[in-house]
Amino acid sequence: MAKLLKTQITANPLTRFHQATKFGTKNKYGCKRTTQNSRFLSGAGSIRAVISSSEDKNVITTSSKVLQKNGLATSSPMIDVKAAITIRKKMKEKLTEKIEDHWEALINGIGKGIVIQLISEDLDPVTGSGKSVETSVRDWAPKRLEHSSYLEYVANFVVPSDFGYPGAILITNLHNKEFYLVEIVVHGFSDGPIFFSANSWVQSRNDNAQSRIVFRNQAYLPSQTPAGMRDLRREDLLSVRGNGKGERKHSDRIYDYAPYNDMGNPDKDDDLARPVLSGEGRPYPRRCRTGRPPTKSDPYSESRIEKPHPVYVPRDEAFEEIKQATFSAGRLKAVLHNLIPSLSATLSSSDNPFTCFSEIDKLYSDGVPVNCDQETKSIFDNLLLPMMMNKALSAGQKLFKYDIPAIISGDRFSWLRDNEFARQTLAGVNPVNIEALKEFPILSKLDPAVYGPPESLLTKELIEGQLGGMTIEEAIESKSLFMLDYHDMLLPFIKKMNSLPGRKAYASRSVFFKTETGLNPIAIELSLPPTPSSPNNRRVYIHKHDATTYWIWKLAKAHVCSNDAGVHQLVNHWLRTHACTEPYIIAAHRQLSSVHPIYKLLHPHMRYTLEINALARQSLINGGGIIEACFSPGKYSMELSSAAYKNMWRFDMEGLPADLIRRGMAEEDPSMPGGVKLVIEDYPYASDGLLIWSAIEEWVEAYVNHFYSDNHSISSDVELQAWWDEIKNKGHSDKRNEPWWPKLKTKEDLSGILTTMIWVASGQHAALNFGQYPFGGYMPNRPTLMRRLLPVEEDPDYDCFLRNPQLAFLSSIPTQLQATKVMAVQDTLSTHSPDEEYLGQIHLLHCHWINDTEILRLFQKFSTRLEEIEEIIKARNCDASLENRNGAGVPPYELLLPLSEPGVTGRGVPNSISI
């Protein structure tokens, strides 16, 4: 006979939850750590349902009439079971929505709103499916939980004692609109409350006739699926794959693939046409399919949806309300920072350069005045908080000041120094391109018939003249020479880039020499495409101390920084994290059931990525978008990104240790974190990153070993193999025939693949994203484009350069409007949302993510290790011997500190690519 749940109740739901889970206190970031459930938690107060013991009933024998009503014909003893259904409402509801809530409560009260069906893990011998019992929510007055946005409804079941253990719930929404289902907690079975975590939108039956399947929080490999759940497991996967046809609706939950064919808008303007990124010529990862019709001008390009209309993503991938508010605020800020300088500088007819450095400083000190003309007012009327903004505008205040970026907050002139230029290759926002110089002479791999002689002008004599008596061979052998090489990546695009108005760029190579005092640049080579009169169209620059060479050297460094900014944004940030991760997420939803242990492991690392990528395609990387307007490659930006994918990207090199070894920045050493020893010990990104990497690796290996007993269990896992096969053959189909794809036959194979994916979504993205404003918010430090080539003596403007080199420098970097645009975007992209979930944390809404005490213990170990890493990084930042992260005016390297508060902090490692 079933033993019924006995639960002590108190008046406060939050207190009840504390009794059930024994929570600890908040840390300074507002995050909670469990002491029993062994997980980080964050979020609002408790929303978990706990049923009063006074409502529990004893086991009873029920009449056949009641049994038939519940769909069961049995004479077995019966038990009363209760399901507590938690639904999240909007935090800020309109009056009409509040009225609708009352109407919905009425409909639920009469049992016409929500139908719930409990499915057993055991088979019904008559139907051949899981035993089932159905009821309706009949709750006139739902309980409002600790957080006012959450309501708890109760549904009652009567089930036979031989029903078995519930494995799934089917929920049908009879209302006219969707609702957000947080979870269902079933009470009355012998093993205590059973959790069915949903965190999903349930559509009205009018929009989707299928009932939503919600599984309990137990992980099963496909071969271990209880018999009563097998059909539901297959049906649930089929329901999210779609048929590859038709345009997707906002309410859909369909995951499918499409090429990057929605970047341009040829129907609007011929100049906004963009090539499709797909196939051998322009390969690229796949994005989430929206199914929009083709453009009228180009049948291969998909028509666009412009703001404010949303781009389709599967319904559960959309930003939640807190994230929406944060992103809207950031978008608002970007628009204002774009609009205000353009008005204040009267740029309707021309776009002015900065004429002195004090004009840049005023962005942080004085703010920007705004004249609220009719055009400005109409823009503000369409933005959030128009009353507040209009009030401020009418007061004539200098409203907007940029925060002082970290790079100049301690030392305003640090960006001028060579050692700072070099330091940022190791501890800046793009620390992933510097490589050891392994061979000499330096040779291009480009076709010499098209791009000129392969030999670099960085000759042995020139470089050895900067080595203090050391030969090149000795420097290479001692691993003292390093290079930032953008020559082959950029040279094929330079002619097209320089044909754009206001753009002048070179393909660059920079050589650095490591001495006892640190890393320093010793030579820069700037190349243009060959011409008939200049087949070797290159120049080399070195640092000298006369005034003219000093300014020329400064301009050469600015061109290198501009190239670095473009490669960072388009290749390392967008391509290697955002774009390449999207297929992993689509394949996971299509091929891994939500009860698959690998789906449960990956789920926190997929949050918000499809939505932020869709927004980027709409406003940032699209034809005429912010990236094209503000970065050197302009309209060729995504073609450059595609070329980098074709020539450089390979999955097996995306893990941190493999990447460091490939660049010659580390050597194999099994005794060290990540199994590698750094060539430059004071390499903050790598040394901190290897701590994060090794923690993820240890957690993933333990997780995999827990669920997979041997290698055969890997190769026989049909869902897992289908997932990996789809990533290669559909998600990255343009690379499907590459020999370097890892095999998936052993536990070690799986652990390596998962560690790489989680690292890219968490640590790698954090290191490349959240320093954008701290390093790029001061435009001279990282100009995103250059508008003039370096002055040479035969140029007519050379005398102007000699008379005023400062003006020549400022006239070469972005204009005031371009600078303020990109600063606003960088500020937005560097911002943590209040609902951010950081590595090693589980959000309160997901705290019942798995019913496995050993996994919870392993996760606690992972979480504790990340706490230790935080303290290690803080200690490193206080170590005076580590000059790349400590010293007068040097900002500490905090990009890989695991936790952060909201805002632009220059720290924090979120679980997923969410901004």
> Residue 559 falls within a domain, yes or no?
yes
Q: Are 661 and 676 within 8 A, CB to CB?
A: yes
Residue 242 above 80 pLDDT?
yes
Is there a domain that residue 160 lies in?
A: yes
Mean per-residue pLDDT for 76-87? Answer: 90
Query: Is 90 exceeded by the pLDDT of residue 253?
Result: yes
For residue 691, pLDDT beyond 90? yes
Residue 48 has pLDDT above 90, yes or no: no
Answer yes or no: 765 catalytic. yes
User: Would 850 be classed as within a structural domain?
Assistant: no
Q: Of 192 and 187, which is predicted with more confidence?
A: 187
What pLDDT is stored for residue 220 in this prediction?
97
pLDDT above 80 for 53: no
Distance CA 283, CA 731 (A): 11
**Closest alpha carbon to 86 in 113, 39, 50, 33:** 50
Cα–Cα distances (Å) from 738 to 646, 647, 742, in that order, read: 11, 12, 10
Q: What is the CATH number of the domain that holds 537?
A: 3.10.450.60
Domain boundary among 532, 563, 594: 563
Q: Which residues pair with 511 in a beta bridge?
A: 483, 523
From 543, 563, 583, the end of a domain falls on: 563
DSSP β-bridge partners for residue 173: 114, 204
DSSP state of 179: E
Which member of 559, 568, 578, 848 is catalytic?
Answer: 578
* Token pair for 804: 């005023």
Amino acid at 583: P
769 is catalytic: yes
The CATH number assigned to the domain holding 227 equals: 2.60.60.20
Mean pLDDT within 637-651: 98
Which sign does the torsion angle of CA 707, 711, 712, 717 carry? positive
Q: What confidence tens digit (pLDDT) does each residue in 513-541 have?
A: 999 889 999 999 999 999 988 888 999 99
| % of the chain beyond a pLDDT of 90 | 70
Note whether residue 491 is domain-resident. Answer: yes
Domain's final residue, options 236, 261, 278: 236
User: What is the pLDDT, as a whole number, of residue 903?
Assistant: 87
Percent of the chain beyond pLDDT 70? 83
- Amino acid type, 72: L
Nearest C-alpha neighbor of 529 from the set 494, 566, 496, 559? 494
Catalytic residue, from 79, 442, 598, 915: name it: 915
Q: 854 burial class (0-12, 13-18, 19+ CB within 10 angstroms)? A: exposed
CA angle 160, 164, 167 (to 5 degrees): 120
Write down the pLDDT at residue 65.
39
pLDDT at residue 332 in the model: 43
Q: Report the amino acid identity of residue 601.
A: L
Mean pLDDT of 799-818: 93
Range of the domain at 551: 414-563
For residue range 299-351, list pLDDT tens digits in order.
Answer: 999 999 887 788 999 999 988 867 666 655 444 444 444 444 444 444 444 57
What's the rounded mean pLDDT across residues 361-386? 54
Q: Does any domain span residue 420?
A: yes
Mean pLDDT of 43-72: 36
Model confidence pLDDT, tens digit, residues 424-477: 999 999 999 999 999 999 999 999 999 999 999 999 999 999 999 999 999 999
| Range 62-69 average pLDDT | 40
Q: Which of 543, 596, 765, 832 is catalytic?
A: 765
For 242-256, 337-351, 522-536, 543-557, which range has the lowest pLDDT when averaged over its residues? 337-351
Query: Which one, of 196, 130, 195, 187, lies nearest residue 163 by Cα?
Result: 130
Q: In the prediction, which pLDDT does 327 show? A: 58
Average pLDDT, integer, range 823-846: 86
Q: Count CB atoms within 10 A of the CB of residue 743.
A: 9
Asked about 573 being catalytic, the answer comes back as: yes
Give CA 193 to chain center in angstroms.
35
Confidence tier at 158 by pLDDT (50, 70, 90): very high
From the list 175, 487, 573, 843, the catalytic residue is 573
**108-130 pLDDT tens trace:** 777 788 999 999 999 999 989 99
Please report where in the chains the tokens 């050993």 appear, as a residue: 854
Considering just the CA atoms, what is the radius of gyration of the chain in Å?
30
63 domain residue, yes or no: no
Residue 190: per-residue pLDDT: 87
Find, among 909, 426, 865, 866, the residue nearest to 686 by Cα: 426
Cβ atoms of 597 and 707 closer than 8 Å: yes
Question: What pLDDT score does 354 carry?
Answer: 92
Q: Active-site residue among 430, 769, 877, 884?
A: 769
Look at residue 510 and tell me whether its pLDDT is greater than 50: yes
With contact defined as beta carbons under 8 Å apart, do 486 and 507 qualify?
yes
Q: What is the pLDDT of residue 92?
A: 67
Task: Classify residue 594: in a domain, yes or no.
Answer: no
More confident residue, 830 or 820: 830
Task: Give the total number of structural domains in the chain.
Answer: 2
Give domain status of residue 209, yes or no.
Answer: yes
How many angstroms separate the Cα of 663 from the Cα of each of 429, 723, 758?
A: 17, 30, 21
What would the mean pLDDT of 473-484 be, rounded to a whole number? 97
What mean pLDDT do residues 812-821 have?
87
**Total-model pTM:** 0.89
* Phi, psi (degrees; rounded to nearest 5) at 446: -75, 160
